[in-house]
Amino acid sequence: MIKKSVLAVTTALSLTATNAVFATPEVEVLHWWTSGGEAKSVGVLKDEFASRGGEWTDMPVAGGGGDAAMTALRARVLSGNAPTAVQLKGPAIQEWYEEGVLSDISAVAEKENWDDLLPESIASHMKCEGTWCAAPVNVHRVDWIWANAAVLAEHDIEMPTTWAEFNLAAEKLQAAGVTPLAHGGQAWQDATVFETVVLGLGGPEFFQQALVDLDEAALTSDTMVQVFDQMRIMRGFVDDNFPGRDWNLATAMVINGEAGFQIMGDWAKGEFLAAGKTPGTDFLCASTPGDGFLYNVDSFAMFDVRGSDKEEGQMLLAELIMGQNFQKVFNLNKGSIPARTDVALDDFDSCALTSSNEMAASAEGGSLLPSYAHGMALRGAQSGAITDVVTAHFNSDMSSQDAVQMLATAVKNSM
């Protein structure tokens, strides 16, 4: 009887060990990459994960520049059923870490030498009190202006280098019956335009003071009044059907020649490329007027899960995200540039090369700045307070002076 019991126990332990060793890596991935170029990009990661024997469950949540996805995430976490990996970025990673729901992926990060592969500023966003809790997939530039090359050529317009030049070009297009600025009436899109104007009119130091440090003197300054004045002018360059329009539909307006310009991060380039358009020929790209570089880093945070299959899935996913092949292929599709610094850019287009060169120059010159509108600079309460004022002003006849006072008050109340 004893021998049989020992044999039974030994067999059970052997089976358990075998199951642990050969557990199929599994991930459930929550993200908001649902447009054409974005879906193609995330498909690269799915395929690589499958090629390594993993099982991927997709959980795409469209809308709101990630706002809808965060609402879905909150519900999942509160129910005790968090996804394996979630598209998160900036201070939001730290906020979830403080709630005690993120996993430590330092083992794979240290094995793959992430510290040597990432710029220090980007690596800092991926760490939680010294441990690695997220993996970056790219670096997006936010302060881009995109244009339909044929439309600009037809109306003898050059890419603007100042906001005054932009206004003149927009007026010329408007007089010809072309929508000057393709825009979607969603809060995060309003905020995207706003922060590019802040950077362009105020400069990098002012941007840091106003939208990173939340300095009251900067928020209530004459420069901020001028920013809202420019936003009021730009509201007049938007078509009447803009409320609720998704960003990629605004990009389609430029692609189709219905609009001249769009101010949007370089994920918009993914839409141009997915439509078979060529940079420099079919569409033009340039930084929005002014100096500096606003960055937005997409990343995946790993949530606390149980089960060797899910844990192995997290480690495999993290390894693949930072792999050279994925960093290259993903960013070629997405419109961004690799987060790791050792990926050759030979196959990247002129817009990406411009982005890489100007990011390096901005980093050296102290004007590489985190985007407030895309969750890199501020926590949710503060960024939400600013965006509420920006959207309220953009969609009303509120004066610039009133907007500035409302902005200072909103930020103070959010602290």
The domain boundary, picked from 312, 335, 351, lies at: 351
The domain boundary, picked from 335, 351, 367, lies at: 351
Q: Looking at the 3D structure of the chain, how many domains does it have?
A: 2
What would the two tokens of residue 347 be?
């196959």
Gap between the Cα atoms of 15 and 5, Å rounded: 15
Gap between the Cα atoms of 210 and 389, Å rounded: 14
Q: Are 42 and 133 found together in one domain?
A: yes
- Report how far apart the first and last C-alpha atoms of the chain are (Å, whole number): 69
Q: Amino acid identity, residue 135?
A: A
Within a domain: 155: yes
Q: Are 60 and 112 found together in one domain?
A: yes
Q: Are 68 and 58 found together in one domain?
A: yes
The domain that holds 325 is classified in CATH as 3.40.190.10
Within a domain: 402: yes
- Secondary-structure percent of the chain, ordered helix, strand, coil, rounded to 5: 55, 15, 30
| Residue entry with tokens 């004045």 | 229
Gap between the Cα atoms of 299 and 89, Å rounded: 6
Within a domain: 100: yes
What is the predicted pLDDT for the residue at 4? 43
What would the two tokens of residue 59 be?
């959980």
Is residue 117 within 8 Å of 338, Cβ to Cβ?
Answer: no
Within a domain: 364: yes
HSE (CB half, 13 Å, CA atoms) of 271? Answer: 23
Q: Would you say residue 20 has pLDDT above 80?
A: no
Q: Are 184 and 309 found together in one domain?
A: no
What is the predicted pLDDT for the residue at 3? 44
Least confidently predicted of 41-45, 80-84, 166-170, 295-299? 41-45
Within a domain: 17: no
Q: Are 301 and 291 found together in one domain?
A: no
Is residue 87 within 8 Å of 306, Cβ to Cβ?
Answer: no
Closest CA to 67 of 82, 88, 84: 88
Q: Write 407-410 long-range contacts (CB < 8 A, 24+).
A: 407/219, 407/220, 407/224, 408/216, 408/219, 408/220, 410/385, 410/386
Is residue 184 within 8 Å of 251, Cβ to Cβ?
Answer: no
Gap between the Cα atoms of 132 and 315, Å rounded: 12
pLDDT tens digit sequence for 219-275: 999 999 999 999 999 999 999 999 999 999 999 999 999 999 999 999 999 899 889
The per-residue pLDDT of the chain, averaged, comes to: 92
Gap between the Cα atoms of 266 and 257, Å rounded: 19
Is residue 181 within 8 Å of 378, Cβ to Cβ?
Answer: no
Within a domain: 12: no
Q: Amino acid identity, residue 46?
A: K
Gap between the Cα atoms of 95 and 296, Å rounded: 17
What is the predicted pLDDT for the residue at 16? 45
Q: Are 158 and 123 found together in one domain?
A: no
Within a domain: 232: yes
What would the two tokens of residue 235 be?
């509201």
Q: Would you say residue 9 has pLDDT above 60?
A: no
Gap between the Cα atoms of 145 and 376, Å rounded: 20
Q: Are 256 and 371 found together in one domain?
A: yes
Within a domain: 7: no
Q: Are 185 and 329 found together in one domain?
A: no
Is residue 302 within 8 Å of 105, Cβ to Cβ?
Answer: yes
3-state secondary structure of 87: strand
Q: Are 134 and 220 found together in one domain?
A: no
Is residue 118 within 8 Å of 295, Cβ to Cβ?
Answer: no
Q: Amino acid identity, residue 198?
A: V
Q: Are 276 and 406 found together in one domain?
A: yes
Query: Can you give the residue range of the structural domain that contains 158?
Result: 141-295+358-414
What is the predicted pLDDT for the residue at 67? 83
What would the two tokens of residue 23 be?
């557990």
Q: pTM of the full predicted structure?
A: 0.83
Pairing, β 134-136 against β 299-302: antiparallel
Cα 361 to Cα 151, 364, 398: the distances in Å are 31, 5, 38
Q: Are 363 and 328 found together in one domain?
A: no
The domain boundary, picked from 334, 351, 368, lies at: 351
Helical residues (DSSP H) of 33-147, grouped into ranges: 36-51, 67-78, 91-98, 106-111, 114-117, 120-126
Q: Would you say residue 76 has pLDDT above 70?
A: yes
Q: Are 369 and 257 found together in one domain?
A: yes
pLDDT tens digit sequence for 116-173: 999 888 899 999 999 999 999 999 999 999 999 999 999 999 999 999 999 999 999 9
